Amino acid sequence: MNDLSVNGLSGLSYLPGYFSRAAQETLLEQIRAVVARAPFYRPAMPRTGKAFTVRMSNCGPLGWVSDVSGYRYQPHHPDSGNPWPAMPALLTNLWKDLAPEAPDPEACLINYYENTARMGLHQDRDEQTFEAPVISVSLGDTATFRVGGLSRKDPTKSFRLQSGDVVVLGGEARLAFHGIDRVLAGTSTLLKNGGRINLTLRRVTQPM
């Protein structure tokens, strides 16, 4: 595991190759089962209604959603109203491994990037607590990931994330600005139709 140095923030870790190819295949199968019950939808920006290029789903008790009225966590799919499927054990195990002190994860956002999809610089700040880290898993095509500081204007650095890599935004880096510049088409054989899936695990509510 490496600590990435960006703007002097501690708590930003990069774990290349955390998941073996066999584990990636198992995880992908479990994610496919989730998405069969909670299909990808395309979120919209608050106020403007501008569509994201990324499509999203969730698993776990809460899911992150965005529409014209804002960002929020909610326990049901925005289209079907069904509760989000349970989080696969591989993901709760990952959380226990990398954040053993943190309360259980409540949300796993599933982002599907087709080749032209991007995600602008942003902070993950819709949670009620920032004590637990955000843990992110990359599957499929390699992407260029950009990380900055606690202010949007801070300088940024970019890194390539490959299938099976894990990134942890914790401690001082929990609220670091980050985003995906682009997906490098044809860099992985994991997803038959190409593209990239990113899984983001989060604690949302303050534990009792």
Partner DNA sequence: CAGTCGCA
Partner DNA sequence: TGAC
CA 95 to chain centre: 13
Residue selected from 104, 114, 126, 154 as contacting DNA according to rule CB under 7 A = 126
Q: Rounded to the nearest 5°, which phi and psi values hold at 34?
A: -65, -50
For residue 9, the minimal CB distance to DNA (Å) is: 17
Q: Which amino acid is at 38?
A: A
- Does position 124 interact with DNA (CB under 7 A)? The reply is yes
58 annotated to bind ligand: no
For residue 109, the minimal CB distance to DNA (Å) is: 8
Which is closer to DNA, CB of 171 or CB of 179? Answer: 179
Which is closer to DNA, CB of 76 or CB of 182? Answer: 182
200 annotated to bind ligand: yes
Q: Which stretch binds DNA (CB under 7 A): 26-34, 41-49, 77-85, 135-143?
A: 41-49
- Does position 114 interact with DNA (CB under 7 A)? The reply is no
Which is closer to DNA, CB of 24 or CB of 145? Answer: 145
Cα–Cα distance for residue pair 72/63, rounded to 1 Å = 8
Which is closer to DNA, CB of 43 or CB of 75? Answer: 43
182 annotated to bind ligand: no
- Does position 23 interact with DNA (CB under 7 A)? The reply is no
**Crossing angle of the two packed helices 89-98 and 21-37, in degrees rounded to 10:** 120
Contacting DNA within 132-151 (CB under 7 A): none
- Does position 68 interact with DNA (CB under 7 A)? The reply is yes
For residue 74, the minimal CB distance to DNA (Å) is: 13
Which of these, 165, 155, 166, 172, lies nearest to 121 by C-alpha position?
155
Q: What does 134-203 look like in DSSP terms, one character per residue?
A: EEEEEEES-EEEEE--SSTTS--EEEEE-TT-EEEE-GGGGG--EEEEEE-TTS-SSSTT--EEEEEEE-
Rg (alpha carbons) of the chain, rounded to whole number: 16
For residue 136, the minimal CB distance to DNA (Å) is: 12
Contacting DNA within 169-198 (CB under 7 A): 179
